[in-house]
Structure 1
């Protein structure tokens, strides 16, 4: 089974096809050891034999220059054995060329087994080369020839010369020459290296580089090794093996076979170390020191840590690099493969390892934090080496410095990691507070903040709760900061009541006078919580007073946050929408000037949201793009608003119909997610995948499902789209289960529930239609009653929040979804209301004909065309249908396009009736005389439909349906509908 090598195999088989057509080709196949070159070439050999080619395969061996022409001799010896026609042809060709016969083990004096290297000149170089060319040409006269020379990195000089000769002179012979070599063995002075470069310039020579597996290919490979191709190993196993093997199939197989996912298998370690053993003592020293440094090491640091003199260190580095154990790049070196570094490190004696780490720590202790080349990282490296050298005080101090350095560089994940290490070492270090320059509680608070910024909100909440229990209660400012951060994190987790209570507690702990930064930030957090639940209507006045206090305290970040909250509040009121945008923009500028990236990102997200809600999609896209770039530049991609800005960028493109760009943005939305932050981003990809009918929807849903119970927002996104997916699959019952789950969550009381309610109404309308078709009036009435309840829920949340306060503006999209709720509610009654569906389509255009929410306009036109066709206005129906089809085709919305085509067929919107009828006729068979429309009617008769139901399905009158049935019975010469149905079933109509 060949995995992940389709392009490479296509290149090779293409060369074979050229050779078969009389255009000789040579292909040089390179790749690291274990990458799968032999497996690839074996697939080519099988393909060649299936095409009736002669196949000759020879191998080089690690014997130096002692056996000339070894691969050619091996190929000829192997091919001439046996009794098949190919062996006979090779033997005959060899008999005619004694100079080649002397290469074989039984070829007499001068053979490969005889005088070895000294015999090579006696063979007559030109005669041998000419004989080899003549043999290949003769064999190619009967059928194409594939000559494979494997492991050319071990080839002797004579073989390399023969390879050069054949590549240059083979022209019209039906010969394909393939040579393989290990690219990681081609050190700077390797004789094959310049030869490969020279041959690749020839017009008939192609180079194929076998690349490492991608993650999916590693998963498929491990499944094949396990004998379960359709069931790959668990995702964590695949991830671990792929990460450690770096896509090398041999390494992956070794890791998986032994089950040692965290340890290096002994056999693989020995194989990797064998390459190191070829080095000089100084070369081995450099490699061992580099292994202690890590995957990558600075050039100057490596030279100094090696303990070698300058000249000796330089010569040793040249040797190591030439053998491609270390690869130069930038100002340093990295191991060619992580497992090589791991093998060397594991081979060190414990004392040797400790001494080398201590040496690195001493060198790094003399360096400033960060380097002149801008790489930074010395504090983190010092912490790592100090810890490995068992110098805990130095490791602690360096970890604190590394955390602060990571914070300045905008790397919150690394900042959190370093703070966590420092906290673990706190009790083992004398006078830790002096070394850290702060107390333990404030260090833990900084760690929790970094965790939240890195997207680890639940970990932050856990740390803050623990800190709240242990912190000094007399330190009021610390208590306020803990509660304020905890309230913010709880709000992000949708624990609104607890978040508001915690924020209120923080506000009450400090008096308003004198104004303090801590109090201002607590006010800002509490105001944010009031956005979600404000039973007393205190938000606007409270926030405006708090802005003045924050300004007096000089807390620009708190002031900006309060302005954003006020802007969001005013955004709900149509008369103040312009003021909302102005205030949020002012908050953004204030936060940027203050150097408060998290507040600035919140402002950017809300500013883009204002444009989005107004239907100003171009400005929304531009603002969201700016915000996402800012988040990335500050290392905050996975902070709450960093992730939301990425999702909003995607959602805007999805809305405008730029699905190619939306798909590009969604490439980073991973499927195999385990963290809340990753999952929320992943869920957004479902908008596009469900609408396109992608095969990967079910897999994404499987990964998201375990994370839903504790995350209302994730539930809202995921299950709302899972409901649409179920509807496209013809399963309204499952769709209703998903909708009910969303409406039972906290988001069921938000305005966003209107969209999900529309999906639920569509499902109940499908249920009602099926019940009516089956004559089940009770089920139809139950579906209508359920539709009534959901429509009422949608109208309620559209006009008031959970506390009964007027909702204000729904935004252009919200108004369109509310219109669809009304249209779907009428459809549950069995009525396709032209006016309601036309209004829905118009509202989704956001006031711009041809613009707005492109996909939803097309979906609304589908129903509008259906309603017009049912009313008999076929021309208007065809116009709306064509517009919907054009949009669906451009978008690639396969499920929508399928139902549109079905509607076009049933309502005869796609072609004039005469053309459709003539196109459907067939010659011969019992149905040869039926028109296309009569075939459609007969199918419905076979399903047990009566004339009224047939008329509704095909948008014709019951009388016309009756005429069609009578014509069908006459043409089929049967006396009843039952016999016509039986005939249709028998003929599998």
Structure 2
């Protein structure tokens, strides 16, 4: 490779900017595409050098032509070749350690892929700043593609830069990388770079750096290379060796191979069958040469620049060279070499590849099954599914297939279906399971996947069959537990509760802890729905006494434990339970699994409700705004509670990202409800009302979520000064109180009751009735610990008291609300309270010296000792704007220094 980078200055500068952005705390992804030989590797190598100069740890891994046979190959490659400091950090993340050679993979305990992804996030956070380069994405396995998408969305504020390279000329219309690239390139933090050919001047400069060359030859190389640096290097090497220049790159490459001695060609052909890389001892064995002859042949190949020495083996100088040599092999020669590698390899995935290419179907079947089992343990369910399916496709063509596989065809097909489901393709899993004999185990999994696909009727049918065909007590327990779950939200829910009790007894007798906990959780839901919270807590206490060995189930139990406490208003207990669950999720690398995510946003809500908004903001920082799926949109929506409450500029950007997901009911309920609140604070009640009506159109009448949305709609109508539609909104809220669908006749929790009272009070406000008793009841209802909503209700109570002439009572409530709003830094509420105080002409209402709410917010941070730059970062505003605010503050408080201003603020009680 030429040492000087020519003609790629602009592209390198764009990549360096991504690095610099990562240093500043905005993670980025860059995708570098171009034809083979165009200089992608040279460019990212230069970038890696710049990254090291900036203090980055550099991880670099390469995908291989074997494709989906080797899961997580680029990650394993990066960790294997990493610097010692990285290898030491990997020790703290055992899931990643399993990718390294010589480390035994642990038996799978469920959610292995999520644990692996979570572990990698933890490693990157430990090492930051980090540059992670993945080369040759066009060969990436499914799990590595999933990993790239995961990192692109989830690494946002960390000092991390991910760079991937791929061949554009390899991406046919149905190539699996195409949709991934299309998805990622829509993200604003993804930089897409397409490397085109070097122009004539750049190519001339590039060739001139290779060494002395006559003008005529230089012109011929530039003309023939067509802007491709690799082609130019090969042409130069051929001329330097006195060769003529054949037509076409493949012919040129082979002309350089043909000048090798016969042993050299023999070794290079064997290396081509191995792939882009090959270990020294393996290549020697397959070549069949004596040691001296082998080493002489390798020395010749390396001296001509066809192979490079890397670690304990060799790498082709370029993938195009390996492809040219492999393509030139005779069919029989290719088969024999593949068979030779298969006899020596120990990696099941590589064995399967070489056995299949060598037409050894029995060996391919056995190795495919082994590779599938290994992929399962590594957390690569898509690859495991593919390996198992490959074995199944060979089944009828191999004698004694069951012995070779170590399992029956039905058993292998069952595992294939489970792996399809674990990789996210539940429809494929259902199709495969339906094709199998309907044993209890098969029917139970079928029911489980169907309920997750919201196909309740077929799920119930499959679950009934699972119960009817169960032969052992453990199978019966699991079938009963799943059947009970399918009935929980159906008209047959009472039957489901009986089945759950039976499942519990059966599971305990059989020692099936997973089925026992599944039954306990279903019984918990039923107890909660009846309002028997003491029973629900007792059941959860039993479920939490010991691990099931199924991390997903253990996290689910902890989530419900925290959720029930939260919904009954026991915030202290909810926080403790959520913390326990979040800790388990982090320790097991499952913070991004379904229940790991649920636990984290529940913890966020507990912080938000209890008034610990700084902690809530810290948690919300991980709720990325750059969403691409409905689950991501739901998670992102929760951050709006805090951002709208504080009036942060991030609201508008987040709402823009969420807008395409408003067809998802939950994402719409949260984000459009908060968009309505945001519009109300901005003085646009008409827009707020549009959001409210859209959300209510999606909600089933009677859903408890109707209460909050209806209350916001009534607030909007009151601000508009119109009564049309108010009665309809009030009736929707009242119906939710009397016919709520939260459970089977379930009662509203404290928050639901408070919102019901709030909706009623807002309805009276629409009709011009400011009733202090109604608003006092709202304050009391929210005062179970919901700090912010209590303050907002005090604002309305103050208005109602003032309207009845009770100025002292109004000012007392206003002061309580203002104090809370100040502590929360709830700027929109502070502004509303300041405006109310101005209209009411409260005594002491100007104790703030005429400071605006934003100026008071800046003043608090000045008093903490923050610089203008730090204040700008905290409040997401320009540093120049902070400077203007500080100047205004000094003038209004008659202070000459920031210290004097802080002292004056303390004297006036502003802090």
TM-score normalised by structure 2 residue count: 0.58
1:759 and 2:709 matched: yes
Does residue 327 of structure 2 align to residue 350 of structure 1? yes
Q: Contact conserved, 1:683 with 1:717, CA < 8 A, in 2?
A: yes
CA displacement 1:147-166 (0-9 Å, x = unmatched): xxxxxxxxxxxxxxxxxxxx
**In the alignment, does 2:189 pair up with 1:239?**
no
Shift of 1:785: 1.8
Q: Which residue of 2 aligns with 1:585?
A: 541
For structure 1, the residue ranges without an aligned partner over 5 or more in a row are 11-29, 39-182, 185-210, 219-232, 258-264, 369-377, 773-779, 847-851, 920-989
Residue in 2 aligned with 1:467?
A: 433
Contact 1:588 1:599 in 2 (8 A): no
Residue 551 of structure 2 aligns with which residue? 597
Conserved 8 A contact 1:357-1:389: yes
Would the aligned equivalents of 1:540 and 1:569 in 2 still touch at CA under 8 Å? Answer: yes
Please tell me whether residue 510 in structure 1 is matched to residue 469 in structure 2. Answer: yes
Q: Does 1:525 align with 2:467?
A: no
- Preserved CA contact (<8 Å) 2:282 2:344: no
Shift of 1:902: 3.9
How far apart are residue 566 of structure 1 and its match?
1.2
1:491 aligns with 2:491: no
Question: Structure 1 residues 519, 870: closer, same or farther in 2, change over 3 A?
Answer: same
**Does the C-alpha gap of structure 1 residues 7 and 741 become closer, same or farther in structure 2, counting only changes over 3 Å?**
closer
In structure 2, how many angstroms separate the alpha carbons of the residues matched to 1:740 and 1:918?
37
Aligned position for 1:57? none
Distance 2:601 2:565 in 1: 15
Structure 2 distance, partners of 1:716, 1:440, is 47
Match of 2:119 in 1: none
Task: State the SS of the aligned residue for 1:620.
Answer: helix
Matched pairs, number: 655
Q: What is residue 403 of structure 1 aligned with on the other side?
A: 372
Quote how far apart the aligned CAs of 1:247 are: 8.3
Give SS of 1:538's match: helix
- Taking a change above 3 Å as real, the CA distance of residues 406 and 905 of structure 1, as seen in their structure-2 partners, is farther
Q: How does 1:779-818 map to 2 (within 5 A)?
A: 780-798=722-740, 805-808=744-747, 810-818=748-756
Is the Cα contact below 8 Å between 2:787 and 2:820 reproduced in 1?
yes
How far apart, CA to CA, are the structure 1 residues paired with 2:276 and 2:476? 46
- Local SS of the residue matching 2:724: helix
1:827 to partner: Cα distance? 2.8
Confirm or deny: 8 A CA contact 1:484 1:502 kept in the other structure: yes
Structure 1 residue 548 and structure 2 residue 505: aligned? yes
- Partner residue, 1:557: 514
Within 2, Cα distance between the matches of 1:596 and 1:412? 17
CA deviations on 1:89-116 (whole Å, 9 max, x unpaired) are xxxxxxxxxxxxxxxxxxxxxxxxxxxx
TM-superposed CA distance for 1:793, in Å, is 2.6
CA shift at 1:583, angstroms? 1.9
Give me the whole-angstrom Cα distance separating, in 1, the residues matched to 2:834 and 2:336: 73
Equivalence map 1:731-880=2 (5 Å): 731-745=684-698, 748-751=701-704, 753=705, 756-770=706-720, 772=721, 780-798=722-740, 805-808=744-747, 810-846=748-784, 852-874=785-807, 876-880=809-813
Residues 4 and 542 of structure 1, relative CA distance in 2, 3 Å threshold: same
Contact 2:417 2:433 in 1 (8 A): no
Question: What is the distance in 1 between the residues matched to 2:831 and 2:352?
Answer: 60
Q: How far is 1:521 from its partner?
A: 1.8
Residues 585-644 of structure 1: CA deviation (Å, up to 9, x unaligned): 322345x25x23332222122122233234344443443344345446556555543443
With over 3 angstroms needed to count, the CA separation of the structure-2 counterparts of 1:392 and 1:267, relative to structure 1, is farther
Measured in 2, the distance between the counterparts of 1:757 and 1:333 equals 67
Q: State the Cα distance separating 1:763 from its structure 2 match.
A: 1.9
**Matches of 1:255 and 1:242, distance apart in 2:** 26
How far 1:807 sits from its partner (Å)?
Answer: 0.9
> Whole-Å Cα distance in 2 between the matches of residues 836 and 822 of structure 1?
8
Q: Which residue of 1 aligns with 2:563?
A: 609
- Shift of residue 884 of structure 1? 4.2
Is the CA contact (8 Å cut-off) linking 2:335 and 2:357 kept in structure 1?
yes
Map Cα deviations across residues 724-761 of structure 1 (whole Å, 9 max, x no partner).
Answer: 4444455545544554554455765444x2xx432233
Distance apart, 1:907 and its partner CA: 3.9
- What's the offset of the Cα at 1:525? 1.4
**Distance in structure 1 (CA, Å) of the matches to 2:589 and 2:335:** 30
Give the aligned CA root-mean-square deviation in angstroms.
Answer: 5.7
Contact 2:341–2:354 (8 Å) recurs in 1: no
Does the C-alpha gap of structure 1 residues 918 and 736 become closer, same or farther in structure 2, counting only changes over 3 Å? Answer: closer
**In 2 relative to 1, CA 6–465 (structure 1 residues): closer, same or farther, beyond 3 Å?**
closer
SS in 2 for 1:559: helix
Give the match for residue 538 of structure 1: 495
- Deviations along 1:169-201, one digit per CA (max 9) or x if unpaired, are xxxxxxxxxxxxxx99xxxxxxxxxxxxxxxxx
Provide closer, same or farther for how the CA distance between residues 814 and 765 of structure 1 changes in structure 2, counting only shifts above 3 A: closer
Whether contact under 8 Å (1:589, 1:600) holds in the other structure is no
